[in-house]
Structure 1
Amino acid sequence: MSLSSPLITPCLWFDNEGEEAAKFYTSIFPNSEILSVSHYSEAGHETHGQLAGKVLTVNFKISNTPFVALNGGPQFKFTEAVSFQVDCKDQAEVDYYWGKLLEGGGTESECGWLKDKFGLSWQVVPVQLKEWLSGEDKEGAKRAMEAMMKMVKMDIARLKDAFKA
Structure 2
Amino acid sequence: MGKPWEDDSCATVLACYSVYHVPVAAAMWCGLTADEVEKELKLARPIGEQTALARATLRHPYIKCLGPRIRAIHQAIDAGELSVCREDGRRITDEHVGYERRHVYGLDLKEWAKKIVPSERPVFLFDEIERGVHPAISTEAYQALEAALAAKTHKLEQADARGGREQ
TM-score by length of 1: 0.30
Q: Which has the higher helix share?
A: 2
Larger Rg: 2
TM-score by length of 2: 0.29
Q: Considering Cα pairs closer than 8 Å and 6+ residues apart, tell me whether 1 or 2 has the greater RCO.
A: 2
